């Protein structure tokens, strides 16, 4: 079984109260609740980073795109009398 280690964390009084309230409601220690919360945060963060990296890789592999400023000008023109045509990706 893995050995647990101790980490000190400074919490605002309000956050400490919330942590202790959740621990009471779950009939668990504040340490257990905090550990679970940190694990869930890290899992979510890892999932987000993996998906962002995959999207960036997909974007890079799809070839040239449209510069952001051109897209902003185009969308700003929607619904006006001088609506711009959809911008085309730059050829590389």
Which of 15, 40, 46, 45 is CA-nearest to residue 30?
15
Each residue of 5-27: pLDDT tens digit? 999 999 999 999 999 999 999 99
What confidence tens digit (pLDDT) does each residue in 31-48 have? 999 999 999 999 999 999
How is the chain split into domains, by residue range? 13-77
pLDDT at 90 over 90: no
Q: How far is CA 92 from CA 20, 65, 69, 78, 89, in A?
A: 58, 10, 18, 28, 9
Residue 89 to residue 67: CA distance in whole angstroms: 8
- Contact (CB, 8 A) for 71 and 77: no
């Amino acid at each position: 079984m893995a050995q647990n280690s101790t980490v000190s964390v400074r919490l605002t009084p309000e956050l400490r109260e919330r942590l202790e309230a959740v621990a009471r409601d779950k009939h668990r220690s504040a340490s257990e609740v905090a550990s679970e919360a940190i694990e869930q945060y890290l899992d979510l963060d890892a999932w987000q980073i993996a998906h962002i990296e995959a999207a960036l890789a997909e974007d890079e592999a799809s070839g040239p795109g449209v510069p952001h400023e051109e897209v902003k000008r185009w969308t700003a023109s929607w619904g006006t009398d001088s609506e711009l045509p959809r911008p085309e990706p730059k050829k590389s």
